[in-house]
Structures are given as C-alpha cells and as structure tokens.
Structure 1
Amino acid sequence: MQTLKSRIYACRHLILIAFLSILSHFYVLWRFIMPEDRKDKVFMTGANDGLEQMLPMQLYLYEQFREGTWFYDMDFGLGGDFYTDLAYYYSTNIIYYMNIIFVRTGELIMGFDPSTIDFWAQNAFFISILKSFLIIYFTYRFLGSIGVRPVPAILGGFIFAASPTYFRFTIFWSFFSDVFIWLPLTLWALELLIRKRKPGLFVFAVAVTLINNFYFAYYQLIIALIYLVVRLIFIRKGDLPRTETLKLAIPSALLGAGISAAAFFHAVRGFLNNDDREYEVDVPLFEDLGWQDNIFYENYLVIILFLAVQALFTRQLYDRYFYRLFAILTIIFMLFTLSPYIDMFFNGFQQPQKRWHYMLVFFHAVLIAQYLSRFREIGARQYLMSLIPVYVIMAVSIYLKGEMVVWVPLIPVIHVVGLVLLTGSKRQLASGIYAALIVIFTMMVSASHTNTQIYHDGITDRNHLFYINSNHYASDRQEYSIEEIKGLKAPEQKIDYKVREQDNTPMYMDFSGTSIYSSIIDGNIIDFYYNELKVNIRYESISRYSSFQTRSNLFSLFNVDYMMRQDEAYGIPSKFTPILSDGTYTVYENEAPLPFIRYASEVYDPDDLVHPLHREHAMLQGAVTEALAPTAAPEPPENRLDEVGVETENAAYTDGILEVGEAGGGLNFNFDAFAGMPEDTDVYIEMHVELIEPEKRFTINVDGYPNERLFASSKYRTYADDLLYRVELKDSVPITFPEGRYAVDIQGIYTEDYEVLEQESLEQDPEYTVEAHANSYEVELAEPRAGIASVPIIYRDGMTVSGNVSGELKSFRTNYLMTGFETVEEDRIITFSYSPPYYWLTLAISILSILASLIYLDVFSLRRRLGPKRK
C-alpha cells in the first residue's frame, strides 16, 4: 500500500514537472504562436550565433549522420574533421543525439522535413522544453537527497530552469544550457555516493558530462571538486568516512572518464589544435560597475530573486547544514561577479567570459528551495526583519535604473501572502497561493528579462520565419541559383558564395563552399590564412574564414571554380568571368582551372619561401612540403615599392604614423610605373596597420574592398596586422581609413600577371573521375601514373591514402593544407579515408570502461548487500 501511494505521488510530481517545463516557456511560445504575421513569429534562437552557427550546424550534422558520414567532409568549410571540430557544439552532444533520434523517427513516421532551417528553428522549442524537464527533475532529486520537501524541491528546480540565465544561454548558444542538466545530476550523484554508498549514478554523471561538452566539463570539474572537498571537510552525521568516500569517488570518476574517451579525447584534441594566440589585453581586478551590472534587478545575464535575499537574512535557518552551505556558496559567487579575474579563471585563464553564472543561479535556487521547505519554522518577526534588505535593494535598484520593472509590484503581494501563511489559520490555501505566486513571479522575471535583454529590436528583426526565408539568409532565388551551379560543376569543384556575413551558408544551403564560422578551427587553416598566405578576410575574426580575397591563384589551387555574387558586389578575381545572371545574382566561372589531382615535378621546402606570392607560385609549380627532400627553390617575387608613388589625402603620414582627419582619408598609391603591363595584371600591397587611437572598430577601404577590423581589446581579434591586399592594376589606388591615429608601415608592392597560373592551367590534365562515399573519397585515373601528387582534400592527422593495388601509400601534408602522397605505376584507383587519430583505441577504451563499470557496480552492489549494515 505504501509503495502504491509513493508511486502515485511520484507520478504526480512528474506531471507537475512536465507542466512547469512547458509553463516556463510560456512567453517564448506566446511570441512564436500568437502573431499572425510571419515577421512577428519570433523563434527561440538568437539572430547572431543562433542563425549563423547553431541552426546550420544542427542541420549539417543531422545530414551527415543520416548519410552515415561520421568524421570527415570536404564540404566542411574547405574540408576537415567535423567530429573533432564540432565537438564543442553538437557532434558529441548527448542532448543533440536524443533530439535527432526523435527527428529521424518523425521523418520516417510523420513526414518531418529536417532539411530546412525552418524546421530546426521550430525544433528549438521542443528540445528546450525537454531540457527544462530534465533540469527540474534532477534538481528536484538532488534537493530531495538533502532533505527538501517535494513541492519546494520542484519549485527550486523551476526557479533554476526558468531563470533568465537559462533562456539567454539557450536562445543564443543552445548547447550552453545543457550544463543546467549536468550540474544537479552531478551533485545528486555525489550525495548518493557520500550518503548511500551508491557510485553508479556518479559514474554515469561523469561520463555524460565529459561526452556532452568538454568545455563545460571543465566548469563541472571545478564545482564538483569544490562540493566534494566541502563535504569531505565538513562531514555530516550519516556520511561515509572520508577515506571510504574517496575510495568510491576516484575509481568511479576514472571509469566515467574512460567511458567518455571516444568523445572527450577528440574534443580536447580539437581545442588544442585550434589557434593558440593569447589574449593580449590587460584585465582589471574589478568590473567598472553600472546599473546594468546589478544582479538583483536588470542584469543582462543573471537575476538573483528577492527570495534568496530573504533566505540569506533568515538567521535561524543557518543551523541546517545544507542551508548554511548554499547560503555561503551564494554569497561567495555573488561576490565573484565583481571581478573579471573569476571570468578568466573559469574560462581556462583565457579572455574573460561570463559563462559560470549558471552556478550562482543554481546555488540561489537551492537556497530558495530550502527556505521554502523550512518556511513555517520562521517566526513572524524574523520574517519581517528579512524583508528590510529586500526593499532597500529594490529601492536603490529602481533609483539607479530610473524605472520600475514590471515584476516589482508583485513582491509585496508575495510578502503579504507569506505573512498570512506564517500567521493565519488557512495555511493550506495560503501555501498553494504562495507557491503559485512564486511560479508566476519567476515567469515574470524571466519574461521581462527575455523581452528587454534578449528579444530586443536587434534580435527580433531577424529571428523570425520571414527573415530566414528572405535574401538576408536563404531565399528561393538564392537556392535556385545554387542548384543551377551544382548542375554545371563537377562533384569535386567548389562554389564561393555566402549570404552577407553568414559564413555557414554552405551548411544550410547544401553545397561545397569555402567558408565557415566556428569557435574551433584547425590551427593549420588559421595559420594558412593569416600568416603563410595572408588571405585578408573581409571581417576580421579568429572564428571565421571565407573565400580567398579575390586571389585567382588560390581559387584555382583549391578547385573553387564557380562564384556567385550580387551584381553590386566588390572585387571579382582576375580569372573569373560571368556566365549566368538573373538580375540580382551573377554566377562567375574560373577561366584558369586546375585539375583536382596534380602531379608535382618539383618539391619545395616551405622555409625557402619568403612571401605569400612566392608560396602561391611554388604551390602552382610543384609541391610545398617538409615531408620530402626539396629539389628546387623558385625565384621570389620582386618588391617594387621604390617604383610607386604614395600620397596622402586628408591625412598626415610621418615616421610610420598616419593621422586621419574627421572626414576620413588615407593614402593614394600611384602605379604609373607599371604602365604597359598585361591587362589582367594585379597589384599586391603589403602593409602593417594598427589603430593607435581611439579604440574602436574600423574599416580599411582598399579601392572599394571594405576590410572590417576589430577594436584592440576584442576577444576575437586575430592580431594579424601584417596585411596583404590584392587590387586591380590602374593609375591610382586609394586606401582610406576612418578618423584616427594609425601605425602604418608599407612593406611591399608586388605585381602578378598570372603567367604561372595560366601555364599550369594549360597543362594536359590527367583524366580522372572523383566519387564521394560516406566515409571516403575515390579518385579513379584513366591511366595509372607514378609520382608525387596532391589533392585539395584538407590534410589532417589520421588521413589515409591507399591504392587499389599497392595498398596504403605514403601520405603527408603538402601545400600547407592539402593531402600529398606518392603513387606507384600500378594504382589506378586512389582512395582517401579518415578517422581521428587514436579513435579506435579510444573507442576500445570506452567499451572496456563500460564493461568494467558494469562489473564494478555489480560486484559493489553485491558486497553492499552482503556486507554489515551501517548503523
């Protein structure tokens, strides 16, 4: 009978949790469902990273996994290991895997169409509600393990799941808020281990945390260690002895880590292979605080509910162990918000990032839940005394902000009901009203924050259904033109196109492009763009690369033979000519294409090459690699700076300092000395540019090419200030700057007539066909040929090249990014396949760790059942 009753209560609690999970999304659902105009249907994804990264990556990975492609794709930017590089996002994300199982089921049974961004934008609501359910449930279970009654425990989970921080994380970077699930799960698992000698859930919690996201696993490691150390130092009655706790915790953690190896190891490799430049900005010890930094009122990230303030000032509850613990943690983490050094610490001692605040939200939610659970133990006098700091903080906050937030009038109503609950006779009714008011208040705080801090004009004018089907993102006309190009090109040829700043356009328009926007990019690609070849991307960012700055040599080398631009677009490479136009978009074709597989007659040492043009010519004429002995050294290009006249316009240029006036100005380069050169000759201007003052974003306009540069303290600066600009040869070329003071050093002027490219393009191509398979690429030659060859398949450690007769061939990195190999006469079919280094080893470790965990838990469970009972 008791068991049946317990099950009924548990079922009721699950229903309540499910209801609150949906209710917490009331505001965002209302903003999407209620408006009739598609322009007003705001979906739950931010207009910046949400549209540019989250949705395209979810769509792209779903397509890859559905096709059975697990690791490498030539269409992933220039090409690469999406499993490793996107582990920061979704490629190892357990919540995403749960989601795509539902999506695939819906596709097969209910006719879902997950090939559109519309679908993934709407799917965000479903997955967020699911996550909220798990957050509330795990928080409820943790709170129950530390003695909180069920309804207050559910309310505590709701306060955590419905917090402004959760919605900010979810809307802008959906995978961020997964950590809201793993934090209460981990602490619940620790409590089961410490108090009930049950390590199974801790093994699971460690494994899923490490698999889901390596970056937030670092945050989880910090807080789990803090919690465990506190629990070991301050032991409660009924806890295991310290040594016994450690004997359980350490092997359990190791087993969990072992289970995660096939995901965690490769995610960390991706992070370590990323560009490693340091953040070169002095960070102050304390924030320069303003009204918007008030964590009790209108903070852009976290709002501490007034109930936590009451709880902190309710002294008589401090005799409770967990109450005292979470009150102290709440106070400490509130103080942490004052210093950017804490932001740096939690971000791995890199640039300050405020991503640890979810911990503060959790601590204050746990404190509130305990406060509500023990509410009737509070005396009326103590209750009234705890209200004083609440109204002082609110009064000061309203004064500093200059206006009252919509949820403030509800505070005294809750206080009155709370007083009735403590002193009145109808406590059951008052208790229900009090709980309902707390739910309503939490929703109002979240909705108000979402409305003002997230759904502001800069976001809502883009994150709606009309926008993502417009030419600002993905219109029918754009997709039609892309399909036309796909009908013209060979499978291995690339298309250079992106919609404005949407560098992940190829991901959601399903074509092989040249651009990507991701926080994790293989460092070799970054080095290629910013250092070796100095490809000057229009929008400076360490997290992006795109196109080849209208440089014909590079387009041909990487088989980028088609380009689409709006008619008014700046800069078309010299060797591209228009072939199609619909009045808005023009398609260009490369007149100097190169074959996909190229055989080298010469080998060049990269250390012998001194300039980007030097390197381009070497790649065209042979193979640039450290893997083979060099056979030649090409002539470096001539620096013709002395032949060029440089004049100022609305600027003064003295001793390397360029001072530009209010209307903007800069330098004019006179190229009269180059008269008589071939018509399609280009000029390459090499210069060092740094803005000295003021600190701001600025644009270097190079003869109509706008190069957007970040302000000096930006977290996303490349620190690549040695710039190379390609311009068409004409009498005079201006380079202009906005008002400011700049350090400018003109390092060189070079001419390029593309004679080398034309000669290589006219060489007789080896006849071949290229076929893409799920996890490999195959080049079939009409006639076998021995020699040193290369293909523009981006080389990563783990790339394997094999011939149909000779088996595995010697492969290596060549031409900075490409895959080089040595063929033998017998091989007619060359196969390229890839798996991350040590993948099969780490997969074996994961499988063995799962088996070891099952044995460990089974034996441990048996010993626990047969061993002496603890008193």
Structure 2
Amino acid sequence: MGDYKKNQLSTKKIWLLVIVGSLIIAILSHLYFIYQKSDGILMAGFNDGLSQMIPFKKFIYDAYTSGNFFYSDSFGLGGGIYSQLGYYYSTNLFFLFYVVIIFLLEILGVIEHPDITFWANAILPMSIFKITIALIVTIYYFRQIKFGFLASFLGAVVYAVNVLYFRHTMYWDFFSDAFVWFILLLIGIEKIIQKKSGKLFVIAVVCNLITNFYFSYINFILALFYILLRFPIRFFNDEEKVSKQLIRYISLGIIGFLISSFAFIPAVMGYLDNYRPEFSDSIPLFTLTDNILFNSRVMFLPIFIIILVCIRKFYKHPIFRFFAITSIIGTILHFIPAVGSMFNGFSAPQNRWEHIVGLAYGGITAFTFHYIKQIKLRHISIGVGLYLFVSIGIVWWDDFEFDRPIRFVIPILSFMMVIILLGMKRFSSTKQKRIFFVSVTLFMMLIANTFQSARLMIPPKDKVLASEAVMQSGHYNSKEQRNILENLEQRTDIENFRIDWMVPTRNNTPIVQDYDGFSIYSSILNQNLLFFYYDRLQISMEEESVSRYDGMGDRTNLLSILNGQFYMRDKAIEKVPYGFNKILESENYHVYENEWLLPNFRKTNTLFSEEEFINQPILTKEHAMLKGAIVDKQKSTDKLPDSKEITDYNIKLINANYDDKALEVKEENGGVEITLTDSVEAGDLYLSFYLEGIKNNDKYVLKVNEFQTIRKEADSIYRTGYNDLTLRVTASDKIQIKLPKGTYQLEDFHIFHEDYQYLKNAYIEYADERLSIKWNNGRVEGDVVSEEKDELIVTPIPYEKGWHLQINGKYVPMEKVNYAFIGIPLEEGMNDIKMVYLPPYFGISCLLSIIGVSLFWYLVRKRKRRVSDSNKET
C-alpha cells in the first residue's frame, strides 16, 4: 500500500512537471509574437482576424453577458447568433470558458468592460493557454499507447508546436481548437480499443460536436481513418475485438450526439439555411501547392522525420509502422487538392485537416526516443540523401531563392540537426536521449518562431500588420468615427434606425463600432437575405464577395423601407442617395439624413405575387414593395406598378472594341458611354446589365458615373457567380461604364428612370401611422388594430427559421414578404402580437440532450456497479 501511495505521489509530481513544462514550451514557442507585442503588433490577421474573429468575440461576449443568447437585431439586418455563429464562437467551449473568467473579472472590478482592443490583445495569452492544453492532452494520448513521459512530451511538442497551429490561430483561431479536440477523441478511441471505459469517448464526441460542427466533420473523418488503420495494426496483444469496438463506437457515438444536440442541431440548421455558391472550378488531381521544406504555408516537414522514416528496422514495430504510414500518406495527400476539397465539404480545397499529419510526425519522434540507440550512420546518410533530393527538386520547382537572411534559418537548423544526430553516436543511450530531446524541442520552437517572422508577421497579401494603431485608425475604428455615431444616436428618436456606413472592406464595422448598420461578414448567413442581395434585388455591394453583404447600393427606396435613416461616407466619396440631406460634417466624414424614411412596421392589404415578378425589372419590384408587399404564396390583389424604361439611347466606345456582347477594353478606364436621346428629369437612373470578366487574373473596379464596385477575379473562390447587375446613379444624359484593361462579356442593357413618386406617395400614406410595435432582438410585441380584410404588417425583420408568432394568444404562421422579410398576418379588429425567436428545433434539441445525458449517466452508473462487483469478488 505504501509503494502504491508513493507511486501515486510520484505520478502527480510528474504531471505537475508536465503542466509547468508545457506552459514553458507554449511561451517559448510564441516568443516572436511576444516580442512584436511590445511594438503594439497583434497576433491577429489583418483581414479575417480583424474583420471576423475579434468582432465576433466582442459581439458574443456583449450579447451573452447582457442575457441575450439567441438573436440580435444588430447582426447585419438581424439574425440568429446562436445558430449562425455556431461556426465561430457561440458554443465554442474554449471561448465560453474565457467568457466566464473575463465576466467574473469584470463584475469583480478587476478589469473594465472588455472593448474591441481587449479582445485583440487577448489572442496571445489565449493561444499560449490553448497550446499548453494541446501539449498536455497529447502527452496523455501518447501515455495511453505506452510511451514514457519524456517520449510523450517530445512527441507532443512536435505535434502542437506546429506551423499549421500558428497559421490557424493568427487568422482563424477557432480552427486551431481542433488540435485539442481531435486528440481527446483519439484518447477515447484508444480506451475503447484497450477495453477501458468509453466515458472519455462520449465526452470527446460531445466536445467536438458542441464546439464546432465543421471541425467535428473533419475530426470524425480523421478518427475514422485512425480506427480503420488500427484494426490491422494492433499495438498490443490484448485489444478489443473489432466487432465489439464497432458496437461501442456506434452506441457511445449516438449518446454523444444526443448530449450535444442542443448546440449541434441549431448550428447545422444555420448552415443549411445559409447559401454559398457551388464551387464549380476544376480541381487538379495533383499539384505542388506548398514548399513544405523551406517556405511552408500550412505544413512543415522536418528533416529528422525524413531520416526516421527511412529506418527500415523500425517498421517491425506496429506503433512506428502506424505513424509512419499515416505521415507518408498524409504528406502525399497534402498535394492532392481533391482531399482538401473533401474535408471542406467538397467545396474549394482547404488544408484544415492536416493536424493528423503533425500527430504522426510526433508519434514517429516519440517512438524513436525509445530506440535512439538503433539509429546507424547509414540510416542518417540515406535520410540526408533523400532530404537533399527532395529539397533540390522543391527549390527548382518553387523558384525558391535565399534572398533574405530569414530564409537561411531552416537549412541551417536542418544541417545542425544532422550534425547532432551524427555526434550522438559517441554517447551512451541515456545521453543520446537527452540530446535528441533537447535538440528536437529547440528545433521545433525555432521553426515556430521563424514561421511567425517569415510567414505570419510579413504577410504577402495583407501588406499591413494588425496593430493597436491600426485598430484606432480610420481604417478600423477611429475616435472621429465613434464620435459621429454617438452624435447620431442622440439626434434620433426613431427605434431600430440604421446607419449606412462601414469602414471600406470591414463589413463587421457595425459590430466593432456598436451601431445598427447594413453590413455583415460571416461564413453562415440567412440565405433569404443573400438571395435578396444577389438575385432578387441585385444590390451591388462595395465589393462582390460571398459570405457578406453591405449597404443598399445607395438605393433610396430600399434604404427607406429598411430603416436607413443616416448615410455616412468619407468626404472623398461624392455619391449620395436621392433625398438624403447633409446634417453633419467632421474633418474626414460627412453624414446625410433620409427625408423619405418610412416607418419600421407598415400595414397593407395591397399584395403582389412573387411569381409575377420573375421577369419584371428590379425597379418594378421596389415600387411594389413601396405600394404594398411582395408575397410568395398569394395572388396579386392589385395591378403591378410600372417602371419607366428608356429605350432611346446611343452607345459610344471609350478606348474599347464592342460587338454587342464582347467588350475589349484597350486602356485603363475604357469602356462604353451611353447617351440618352432625350433629357431626363431629376431623380435617378437604374442601369441593369450583364457583366463578366473573361479570364481576369485580378479583381477589378467597375465604375458607372459616380458609383463604383469591385468585382472578383475569374478564379476567385469568393466570387458570387451572379453577374446580372443593377446600379443606381444620379439622373444624367450620359452614363459611362468604365473598366480596367481586359476582355469582358457585357450585354442586356436596360435603363430606367426613377422619379421617386412611389416613395413619396408611401411616405405621405404612412406619415401619421406609427404602429405601436417594439422589436428588441429576439422579441417583438405590440397591439395593432386592423380595419380592413387580409391586412398584414410588413416588417424589416429577416425571415428566418426559429421565429414563433402569436396573434391574440394563438400561434399563427408567418408570411415571407419582399423576398426576405417577415410579414405578420392580421385579423380584423384588435391584434395582440407576440413574436419570439428560439434557435431552430431548439426544444427538440434540448429534449434529445436530456435523453443523452440520462443514457450517459445510466451507463456510468452501470459500469461503476460492475467494477464494484468485480472488486468484491476479488
């Protein structure tokens, strides 16, 4: 008994050392980031880091700590944050842990309410914490397959201190969570294989599914590969039969799914209600996408791995054989884009699955630590020869040049690693292990810091590093901008008003600067709104791109319908929507107010059928939305409104050739000039046409008079695929369409004049009608009297699964109006309206979770009784 307690105490001390050692390694592997922090440089990508990750952390923290968990009217035009942000942080276990800790510090007065800069600065300590956890769980995994503590620690360093981890953490830090949850899943698998409790397997399934449904998909595919390869490659003699393993995987996996349903199902529903254009580009069978030796972007292949996989005698050991096969297959698959596409839901190829390759490298290294004495000179020579062959080929293919001092670091470290391996032959086995342990650990940490310096802190596309100075500038969130927004908040007494403003390309500016706007950037969005922008109303954004929307194309009709009270722009931008009058001016910005703003909620019984608008002009659709509402299931109750099309015009070429379809622009800002035969009255022109860049290698600027928008390059995976455009410009006798030098498909011109009579009529009609309806995030309440038959209320609330409507205490189905918004059908007389949002199928999801927890509790209790009975018998 005394020896048992002594061993227990010793094990506890070792694990304490493991935790401390993991923290030290985590800190040392971030040294370059820590050094850059002293200059105000942040561990955040200038693009997605500042545009998505940091804003969403701030946004969800503010929502959750104020008691709002499911829906926000400030999420773009409004949206379910629990389901749509499940891809990011709404149920992310790491983030929720941070939320609890930070909120406690806030209510205790240790810190002030965390602002956007706080979350940017928090990325570094959060990353250090996460990599510490990754090291600890990986060490525990290697211990499960009977590696010693030092070997396990070494293997964990090779796995966790990985260039892929740092790339993910800097640009999309929730992606790197997979490094932890994948290992937890493998520990659960190993426990089942070794006839131990399946409790950890269930917990791992739950953690994966709750944290991120997308990475669950990736991790489960990798786990399936792991399981299938472990069937023939048995590490130990006394392993569970394959049939029993399968039964346990399936049964325990179902319990894990049930437990996680409350988070997983709403997140998947958000994904299914999203729209992303199908990736239609051809995917090559094989391509050398990355220089994995010297200039790695997502994967780094250390020289010692190449040497170790060349040691034939190691392959007689099943554990080494398993990790060697995984590493070789994984490294080859890195160059097969179809694999990256499969792991990305058969969309554009992405390398987000390759943490398993890093684990295989770690397993090879940990195994070698035990058998270091068996490495011979010929093994090193063969490995070095292969390394030289591969490196020469890669340098030749990649045109890699040693033109900067930083580019010599990896070759020098690799050469030193070879010298160390050769020099170890003079020492005893114990000393060899120590030298190997220290050299590999230092090698990985130096590579990590080199990668941070050469690849992350000098990003070739971003050109600007994320810093506190950038975050306080006009390119992100300046004091001048915030002061204007605060002023506008004080000027209005209108509820749910919106401001058409965003920092260029920063679609999440409303989240950053705390106002209700017209823009959002998120991988998961309400598809009704996306179709509203892409196709139904053809609203041109500042820059064409999937997963985002912004503004209303300066179209006053839409701004008036959707609460667009203010319009703010940089002074250098001259375009202003019709009917907006200047009210404010600062050093760099001017602000305009809409004089034709319509009420948030409007009653109407003038309804138009969606079907009748399939071939109608965009302007006609806007007129119908002003006159009444467009519905998707009902016949029209009034004749369609008209639009004034201009058909008499001449086309003149500007440094271009044109044959009514193909436009060849010979010089920059060439294109076509359309001259109207008859002068037009005041108002706007709506110009509709088809435009597609033919094999454009770069994105390009389309200019139509004062309006301009950026269109994606021909091979961009972020292009929308919608090329039918409708642009609004101030009424003029001439319309100039200007494009960069290149070839385009340009056709199907339609020009309409808008005098805004429909808007003015609507403004007069609703001038004295202010419905007493309150919309606050996921709750809508009000009392409305309907005096006419078949009336409904047109709302600015996006139509989305999860809303539940009650009229006078009875549940009533909602209408979808104006393609993307909720219509509330009214009864004649008084209507007591209550509308509440819950994530889709949330009640069923929670019930399934309760069932899962009950089953899990039953299995745990049953196993405890069985173990207890077994102990009594012995």
Q: What TM-score bracket applies, with the shorter chain setting the length?
A: over 0.9
The answer for the alignment partner of 1:831 in structure 2 is 834
Residue 375 in structure 1 maps to residue 387 in structure 2: no
CA contact (8 A) 1:492 1:770 kept: no
- How much has 1:243 moved relative to structure 2? 1.6
* Separation (CA, whole Å) in 2 of partners of 1:421 and 1:96: 44
Task: Give unmatched runs, 5+ long, in structure 2.
Answer: 1-5
The answer for the alignment partner of 2:19 in structure 1 is 14
Q: How does 1:255-654 map to 2 (within 5 A)?
A: 255-287=255-287, 293-394=290-391, 401-403=400-402, 404-425=407-428, 428=430, 431-456=433-458, 459=462, 461-489=464-492, 490-609=494-613, 610-641=616-647, 643-654=648-659
CA contact (8 A) 2:783 2:830 kept: no
* Separation (CA, whole Å) in 1 of partners of 2:696 and 2:848: 54
- How much has 1:43 moved relative to structure 2? 0.9
The answer for the alignment partner of 2:761 in structure 1 is 759
What one-letter code is carried by the residue in structure 2 that aligns with 1:615?
K
What one-letter code is carried by the residue in structure 2 that aligns with 1:745?
E
CA contact (8 A) 2:49 2:171 kept: yes
CA contact (8 A) 1:70 1:775 kept: no
RMSD over aligned Cα atoms: 2.3
* Separation (CA, whole Å) in 2 of partners of 1:201 and 1:312: 32
SS at match of 2:678: helix
Q: Deviations over 1:53-85 (max 9, x none)?
A: 000111011111111111111111011111111
CA contact (8 A) 2:159 2:358 kept: yes
The answer for the alignment partner of 2:65 in structure 1 is 66
Once structures 1 and 2 are overlaid, which stretch shifts more, 279-288 or 840-849?
A: 279-288
CA contact (8 A) 2:73 2:776 kept: no
* Separation (CA, whole Å) in 2 of partners of 1:504 and 1:311: 48
What one-letter code is carried by the residue in structure 2 that aligns with 1:612?
I
CA pair 691-483 structure 1, distance change in 2 beyond 3 A: same
Residue 179 in structure 1 maps to residue 181 in structure 2: no
Q: How does 1:684-703 map to 2 (within 5 A)?
A: 684-703=686-705
SS at match of 1:690: strand
SS at match of 1:401: coil
Q: How does 1:151-230 map to 2 (within 5 A)?
A: 151-230=150-229
The answer for the alignment partner of 2:856 in structure 1 is 853
* Separation (CA, whole Å) in 1 of partners of 2:380 and 2:570: 66
SS at match of 2:745: strand
CA contact (8 A) 1:420 1:430 kept: no
* Separation (CA, whole Å) in 1 of partners of 2:419 and 2:763: 83
The answer for the alignment partner of 1:38 in structure 2 is none
Which among 797, 806, 826 is matched to residue 793 of structure 1? 797
The answer for the alignment partner of 2:707 in structure 1 is 705
CA contact (8 A) 1:542 1:716 kept: yes
SS at match of 2:728: strand
CA pair 534-382 structure 1, distance change in 2 beyond 3 A: closer
What one-letter code is carried by the residue in structure 1 that aligns with 2:837?
Y
SS at match of 1:256: helix
SS at match of 2:220: helix
What one-letter code is carried by the residue in structure 1 that aligns with 2:369?
L
Q: Deviations over 1:404-445 (max 9, x none)?
A: 5213323343344444444324x5555434322222211111
Q: Deviations over 1:770-803 (max 9, x none)?
A: 545564133456x676632121111212212334
* Separation (CA, whole Å) in 2 of partners of 1:182 and 1:502: 31
CA contact (8 A) 2:783 2:833 kept: yes
The number of equivalent residue pairs is 855
Q: How does 1:111-122 map to 2 (within 5 A)?
A: 111-122=110-121
SS at match of 2:780: strand
* Separation (CA, whole Å) in 1 of partners of 2:439 and 2:410: 11
* Separation (CA, whole Å) in 1 of partners of 2:168 and 2:489: 37
TM-score, normalized by length of structure 1? 0.94
* Separation (CA, whole Å) in 2 of partners of 1:207 and 1:135: 18
Q: Deviations over 1:75-115 (max 9, x none)?
A: 11011111111111111211111111111112122432344
Q: Deviations over 1:604-634 (max 9, x none)?
A: 1011122211111111111211244431231
The answer for the alignment partner of 2:3 in structure 1 is none
Residue 727 in structure 1 maps to residue 723 in structure 2: no
CA pair 457-855 structure 1, distance change in 2 beyond 3 A: closer
CA contact (8 A) 1:414 1:434 kept: no
CA pair 741-629 structure 1, distance change in 2 beyond 3 A: closer
What one-letter code is carried by the residue in structure 2 that aligns with 1:315?
R
What one-letter code is carried by the residue in structure 2 that aligns with 1:544?
R
CA contact (8 A) 2:372 2:433 kept: no
* Separation (CA, whole Å) in 1 of partners of 2:370 and 2:491: 69
TM-score, normalized by length of structure 2? 0.94
CA contact (8 A) 1:199 1:857 kept: no
CA contact (8 A) 1:80 1:795 kept: no
* Separation (CA, whole Å) in 1 of partners of 2:293 and 2:459: 24
Q: Deviations over 1:364-384 (max 9, x none)?
A: 122222222322343455445
CA contact (8 A) 1:691 1:741 kept: yes
CA contact (8 A) 1:570 1:705 kept: no
* Separation (CA, whole Å) in 2 of partners of 1:559 and 1:388: 69
CA pair 810-387 structure 1, distance change in 2 beyond 3 A: closer
CA pair 318-820 structure 1, distance change in 2 beyond 3 A: same
CA pair 30-329 structure 1, distance change in 2 beyond 3 A: same
CA contact (8 A) 2:137 2:184 kept: yes
What one-letter code is carried by the residue in structure 2 that aligns with 1:13?
V
The answer for the alignment partner of 1:2 in structure 2 is 7
CA pair 497-436 structure 1, distance change in 2 beyond 3 A: same
Q: Deviations over 1:456-511 (max 9, x none)?
A: 16547340111101111101110010011111222311111101111100111111
* Separation (CA, whole Å) in 2 of partners of 1:87 and 1:105: 23
* Separation (CA, whole Å) in 2 of partners of 1:307 and 1:770: 68
SS at match of 2:231: helix
SS at match of 2:539: coil
* Separation (CA, whole Å) in 1 of partners of 2:219 and 2:873: 31
What one-letter code is carried by the residue in structure 2 that aligns with 1:267?
A
SS at match of 2:567: strand
CA pair 867-551 structure 1, distance change in 2 beyond 3 A: same
- How much has 1:394 moved relative to structure 2? 4.8
* Separation (CA, whole Å) in 2 of partners of 1:627 and 1:69: 33
CA contact (8 A) 1:197 1:240 kept: no
SS at match of 1:43: coil
* Separation (CA, whole Å) in 2 of partners of 1:694 and 1:580: 40
Once structures 1 and 2 are overlaid, which stretch shifts more, 769-778 or 458-467?
A: 769-778
* Separation (CA, whole Å) in 1 of partners of 2:127 and 2:195: 32
SS at match of 1:673: coil
Task: Give unmatched runs, 5+ long, in structure 1.
Answer: 36-40
CA contact (8 A) 2:649 2:676 kept: yes
CA contact (8 A) 1:43 1:121 kept: yes
